[in-house]
Amino acid sequence: MSESNDPPHAPDLSQAAGSACRTPDPIGLIEEEHALQRELCDLLEALADGLPHNFDKALALIAVSILEGSVPRHMRLEEEALFPRLRLRVGEDDPLNAALACLEEEHDRDGAASVELIDALRTAATDGFASNPNMLGYMLRGYFDSQRRHIAWEDRVVLPRARQALTAADLAALQAWIMTSDHPRCSHQSILAIRSARSAGGVCEACPNSGAVHSVGEQSAASGNVLPFNAKS
Ligand SMILES: [Fe+2]
Ligand SMILES: [Fe+2]
């Protein structure tokens, strides 16, 4: 990602990312991606709470960036690398198999919902307002409610079982899948960046010079590149 795409007010994230991003712990990486998705849900809830009168298009484009990049890549990692290895280790009769099947169905359902949500958020960001705030609010709340349930299930049931059941060879294979695919190796920078953008927005909304800040958001909207959320670090 070039420097020109760095967010306004961005801190030095290269230091903050730390050694955690280089640790070969694929389950830890999935947990970190869940933390990013919880941040996304909080952002989507803030957008919904602002309707019908307020719509922050810069935050909406950040949400679009994560919904288009990190989220589908995360689902692919689970479906192509994690779940198949977990199924092999727990055996056919284990109740976890039914849970994994439900989670894959939710991926399909939430994936379809996110396509519509991306379209609605991008249209509202282009217009600068939500033409149908009730519908957008309904879509936002439906998506983040479902995602929070989904992530909680995976964090409380699937990942602890994965830590218990997967062998060192399984974890090495998962790590190799991550390193040889286009999957991001770290979400820590994105988590810091989304928090920074939200806190900067809160400060800037109260600032008498907020017009200058909005022009930065407009530049971001025009470029379509808001924050380095989807880069492979
Ligand atoms: Fe999932
Ligand atoms: Fe997940």
Task: Spell out the SS3 assignment of 100-112.
Answer: HHHHHHHHHHHHH
Residue 185 lies in a domain: yes
pLDDT at 20: 45
For 147, the domain range is 26-205
Ligand whose nearest atom lies closest to the CA of 31: 2
pLDDT at 197: 82
Ligand whose nearest atom lies closest to the CA of 27: 2
Distance 34 CA to ligand 2 centre (A): 6
Section 197-214 average pLDDT:
52
Distance 212 CA to ligand 2 centre (A): 38
Residue 16 lies in a domain: no
pLDDT at 204: 44
Distance 7 CA to ligand 2 centre (A): 26
Domains of the chain: total: 1
Residue 12 reports pLDDT greater than 70: no
CATH number at residue 178: 1.20.120.520
Distance 56 CA to ligand 2 centre (A): 27
Distance 198 CA to ligand 2 centre (A): 23
pLDDT at 152: 97
Residue 123 reports pLDDT greater than 90: yes
pLDDT at 22: 52
Residue 233 reports pLDDT greater than 90: no
**For residue 98, what are the contacts with CB-CB under 8 A and spacing of at least 6?**
none
Computed on alpha carbons and rounded to an integer, the radius of gyration of the chain in Å comes to 19
Residue 15 lies in a domain: no
Q: Which amino acid is at 74?
A: H
Residue 155 reports pLDDT greater than 80: yes
Q: Which of 120-129, 142-151, 202-211 has the lowest mean pLDDT?
A: 202-211
pTM: 0.78
